[in-house]
Structure 1
Amino acid sequence: KKWGRGIQLFSKILVYNYLSASKLVNELIGKEGFKYDIVIAHDWLSVIAGITIKKETGLPLVFHVHSTEKGRTLGNGSEVVSNIELRGGQMADLIITVSYAMKDELIKLGFPREKIEVCYNGVDPQKYNPENVSPDQIRQVREFYGIKPEDPMILFIGRLVGVKGVDKLVMAMPHILQKIPNAKLVIVGLGDLQDYLVNLVRMMKLQDVVKFNFEFIPEEERILHYAACDVAVFPSLYEPFGIVALEAMSMERPVVVGAAGVSGMREIVIPCGEEQCGYHINPNNPADIAWGVVNALESPEKRKWLGKNGRRRVLNEFTWDKIAEKTIELYERVIKR
């Protein structure tokens, strides 16, 4: 129990960390004379190497934390991995995480508050651009799922695991159908819940309403799915950032997102006012998810307005260029100390 899932994976990662640290310290720096200014490690997967290199070379260590073992397993994860994460935070000169919700979680877990900075993730708005998708491509996606042009298409893309809340989205469909009888839900992804979701849909007699695509689809297809849908829904129970919400917003689609607990999407999506681009919902409550979806689908004009606001927000705040500038600025601050 202490080791948790995947002890074989863990042992491979451990070996990889020590071999990569050894290569950098002994060969690249020791023999070949390479000069480095900073060591970067992402999550527990590489922070052991980062700590080792820092100890051997004295280089400053920046630790990027994208999620925590405790959070992504809803408290059921490996103690060993959690301890590695915390040790990385203690040894790092700077911790960069992906949202203020994550910063709060790290502080609660004992990470040193004064070391933590927030730098959001981003999206490429040239790639995720609705103008690049033709009406014919949209028609093909919708026809693949048997969705008529007049039927509102609700989209979920992501891992089919409990933490993503997709089962609660299926449970929300009867509430949505009361208000929008011709709505259809498309679920795209892979994960442990596949069989459970199929049985849930059968039990709720929603076979004609919920369409599955149990695949990890390539980015080009993902973009076409965003273009084809009318609203994208991500009712995550734990989501340090939620890059899928950004992708949908960049494609000018309204988004309905889980906003309880640790939710970076709560910071991405503006739920009211002149710049509104979606709705915040309680991901544990199917009726609340339905409320968000029904409101987003209220009228074509509303959908378009929310979508335009979403893309404008991406262009102003969440392009990779802006994120890269912020990251470099944080790295330079550490190097100058």
Structure 2
Amino acid sequence: MRLPDRVYAVCSEVPPEVVGGLGRYAERMMPVLGECGVPIVVFGTAGRGRARRTERSGDVTLHRLTAAGLGLAGNPRLPRALRLLARTAGLLVFNLRAAVRILRAEAGRTRAERLGAVVAVHDWMGCPAGIVCGLLGRMPVVFHVHTRELNAAPERRRPPHAALLDALETVQARMARLIVVPSAAMRDELAAGGWPADRIRLVPHGFEDPELLRLAGLPGEERDRMRREVRRRYLPEGRGRLVVFAGRLSPHKGVHTLVRAVPRIAARHAGTRVVLIGAEPPHTGEAAVLTRSIEETGVAAQVVAENRFLPPAEVFAHFLAADVCVFPSVYEPFGLVAVEAMALARPVVVGPGFSSEVVGDGALRCAHDDPQELAEALLRCLDDPREAAGLAHRGAEHVRRHYSWALTGERTLAVYAEAMR
């Protein structure tokens, strides 16, 4: 297998500005690809000046590009519509800057030499650069689709701009040599929607994070000490039941269903606390909607929602402290956060958005987006510690058998090599 001579990756969210799954993917994949023997040039958006604009690690060179508009997108004093417009304009400028850099780097090469390079674009936020490089540079483009939540999430009203993004993704999918997805369920979903099934390749994500592996290997006494520290933040003297959710506070993540499930759980376990780790997507106002839902349901005493992201180490510590971790998504192309909780040998409950292939028999999977069904699944774990322990053991075994970032890197490079043919 002939590997590419070089790879250009356009990924809008890069460390240290990690607020979602795309950022976590970039955070884990860059060290893996940094030892692959192929020069990888990554273009991401610049944060608030805290990180260097360019840095290199092994075979990976990361360029953080500023873009007019992205700064305005974070200004809460502007109307939401203007912030959304500023973000869209900023991402477009970012894409054009990345495309210009790629085309300039390839300008002195022959057509045959350009075929030795691959442009990898991630989600719709990288599609304009991929389309430009494919049309003007005649370069092979690989389209990584991590999520299509704006267009594919069931039972959710599409925002006005979703149709435009759908068209953008469709154009990129038709132009791309190959399309990469993280799960068979997503592959089937895209194929059913008319995307070219013969060009879709399945590359699951890994699970290893240095802090996760450190915590998983802690001696029992140290794990118990950490669990007690976290539990005392939410439970009187650490006594009671702790349920932990992590993810964006968006409706398709199932947080409203979880809130409506709390009264049934609290009726059986009065000392239960449900901790929601995560924040709203930028410029959505969804945290305020969730706060109203908590108040209207009458569970403000049982639910803790701080609307902020925690560093991965803190998230993993919360997983260790939990009696059960819950991710009740109605749409989830892969669900890295659930896989990480399973890797830590924690009992996990997931929503109907998770495919059975991802979690196997290592998590309780709800068939419907239903508060009562979700409450019953959580109570199975809270009522029966032995069943919960067995579930946790199966989850950890499933993750270690099926997922590895090193294997993700190997498969990704194999897709890039195939795209050059």
TM-score (normalizing by structure 1):
0.88
Pairing 1:2-13 to 2, within 5 Å after superposition: 6-13=84-91
- CA distance in 2: counterparts of 1:12 and 1:83, whole angstroms: 19
Matched, 1:106 2:196: no
Number of matched pairs: 325
> Could you report, residue by residue, the CA deviation over 1:206-228 in whole angstroms, capped at 9, with x for unpaired residues?
23322223211111111111111
Task: Give the conservation status (yes or no) of the 8 Å contact 1:189–1:215.
Answer: yes
**1:88-167 correspondence runs (5 A):** 88-124=172-208, 127-129=211-213, 130-132=216-218, 134-167=223-256
CA-based RMSD of the aligned residues comes to: 2.4
**Could you give the per-residue CA deviations for residues 267-307 of structure 1, whole angstroms, max 9, x where no partner exists?**
2222xxxxx32211145210000111111223222222211
Partner of 2:144: 64
The partner residue of 1:20 within 98, 101, 107 is 98
Aligned to 1:39: 119
Name the CA shift for 1:25/1:207 in 2 (closer, same or farther; >3 Å).
closer
Distance across 1 between alignment mates of 2:386 and 2:306: 29
Q: 2:304 aligns with which of 197, 208, 211?
A: 211
**C-alpha distance in 2 between matches for 1:153 and 1:6:** 36
User: Equivalents in 1 of 2:374, 2:342: separation in Å?
Assistant: 18
Which amino acid is the alignment partner of residue 299 of structure 1? D
- Structure 2 counterparts to residues 178-189 of structure 1, below 5 A: 178-189=267-278
The equivalent residue for 1:273 is none
**TM-aligned CA distance change 1:193 to 1:14, over 3 Å:** closer
* Structure-1 residue corresponding to 2:375: 290
> 1:18: Cα distance to partner?
2.1
CA drift at 1:17:
1.7
* Percentage of identical aligned residues: 29
The one of 102, 106, 112 aligned to 1:29: 106
The equivalent residue for 1:239 is: 332
CA distance in 1, matches of 2:225, 2:368: 34
Alpha-carbon shift at residue 5 of structure 1 (Å): 8.3
Q: Over residues 225-255 of structure 1, what are the superposed CA-to-partner deviations in whole Å (9 max), with x where a residue is unaligned? A: 1111011111112111111101110111111
| Residues 138 and 224, structure 1, Cα contact 8 Å, conserved in 2 | yes
CA contact (8 A) 2:141 2:176 kept: yes
CA drift of 1:331 comes to: 2.0
- 8 Å CA contact retained: 2:246, 2:337: yes
Q: Deviation string for 1:288-337 (max 9, x for gaps)? A: 001111112232222222112111111111121122122222222222x2
Shift of 1:150: 4.1
1:257 is matched with: 350
Letter matched to residue 8 of structure 1: A
Q: In the TM superposition, what is the alpha-carbon distance from 1:162 to its structure 2 partner?
A: 1.2
Unmatched 5+ stretches in structure 2? 1-80
Give, as a single letter, the amino acid of the residue that structure 2 aligns with 1:39: V
What is the rounded CA distance, in whole Å, between the counterparts of 1:98 and 1:75 in structure 2?
25
Find the aligned partners of 2:250 and 2:366 in 1 and give their Cα distance: 19
Whether 2:409 is the aligned partner of 1:324: answer yes
- The letter of the residue matching 2:252 is V
What SS does the corresponding residue of 2:349 show, helix, strand or coil? Answer: strand
Higher mean C-alpha deviation, range 288-297 or range 180-189: 180-189
Cross-structure match for 1:223: 316
Does the alignment pair 1:266 with 2:350? Answer: no
